[in-house]
A and B are shown apart, each in its own frame.
Chain A
Amino acid sequence: AQSVTQPDIHITVSEGASLELRCNYSYGATPYLFWYVQSPGQGLQLLLKYFSGDTLVQGIKGFEAEFKRSQSSFNLRKPSVHWSDAAEYFCAVGPIIQGAQKLVFGQGTRLTINP
C-alpha cells in the first residue's frame, strides 16, 4: 500500500540555522511528490513538487527538496530558517489512482524556531 513516513514529529532549530525535514515514501510507480506547509489554523500551502526530471526542485520561500529514488526519499531543506517558517510541514505522494486526485500524506513534522 502507498504510504508516506515523516520520521520526525517535532523539530526545533535556531533562527538562521539550516533545516532538513525527512520524508520516505512507498509507492508502486514513479511518484509525484509534494511538500505542503500549514500555519496554525490555516489550510495547506504547496511549497514545491516533483513530477520528473531534475531531482533537485526549488520551491517557494527558499525551500528545496531532493528526490532520491534509491532511498525512496524526498527530503525538504532550507539553508537558513526564519522565525516565520515555524509551521507544520507535510510530505505527500500521489495521485494514488490514475485519473483521481488523491494524495497520501505523512503525519507531518512540526517545526519550532528558537530566536
Chain B
Amino acid sequence: KAGVTQTPRYLIKTRGQQVTLSCSPISGHRSVSWYQQTPGQGLQFLFEYFSETQRNKGNFPGRFSGRQFSNSRSEMNVSTLELGDSALYLCASSVGNTGELFFGEGSRLTVL
C-alpha cells in the first residue's frame, strides 16, 4: 500500500507570494492532518480534515488554510508569505480515532 505522498518536496518563494501544498493520503484513510515543523517551535498542528470538513484547527493566522477533496486528497495554502513561514510542512493521514498518524516526507518551504 502506498504511503502518504506530498508534493512538491521543495520550493522557494519570496515574501508576499502564496503557496499551495498537496497531500495524497494512504488509500482508505479519510483523515488528513497538517503540521508545521520548525527548529524553534517544533511540530505544531495546523488543521485536520475529515470527509471534506475541517474538524480542528491550530493556532495559526488566517493566511493558513486548507481543504480536502472527495477522494481524501488535501491541499493547504499559505497566502502573503512571511519569512517565518519557512518550515517543513508535514501531512499525515489516519484511520479511526486513536491519533495514530502516518506521515509523508514533507514539503520544505523556504521564503526569501
Given contacts A32-B98, A43-B90, A43-B103, contact A101 B42 (CB under 8 A): no
Give the size of the chain A interface in residues (CB under 8 angstroms): 27
Chief secondary structure at chain B's binding surface: strand
Q: Given A90-B43, A105-B42, verify A43-B4 contact (CB < 8 Å).
A: yes
Q: State in angstroms the CA–CA spacing of A79 and B74 once bound together.
A: 40
Check A43–B105 contact: CB distance below 8 A.
yes
Q: Judging by beta carbons under 8 Å apart, are A101 and B102 in contact?
A: no
What is the 8 Å Cβ interface bit string for chain B, positions 71-112, against chain A (1 contact, 0 not)? Answer: 000000000000000000010101001111111111010000
Whether A34 contacts B42 in the complex (CB less than 8 A), given A43-B4, A101-B33, A102-B33, comes out as no
A95 and B98 within 8 A (CB): yes
- Closest CB-CB distance, A58 to chain B, in whole Å? 16
Q: How large is the interface on B (under 10, 10 to 19, 20 to 34, 35 or more residues)?
A: 20 to 34
What per-residue 1/0 map shows which CB atoms of A49-76 lie under 8 Å from chain B?
1010000000000000000000000000
Residues from 32 to 88 in B contacting A, C-beta threshold 8 Å? 33, 42-43, 45, 48, 50, 55-56, 58
Would you call B31 an interface residue if the criterion is a C-beta within 8 Å of the partner chain's C-beta atoms?
A: yes
Cβ-closest chain B residue relative to A44: B103
A103 x B101 contact (CB < 8 A): yes
Interface positions, chain A 82-115, Cβ under 8 Å from B, are: 90, 92, 94-95, 97-108
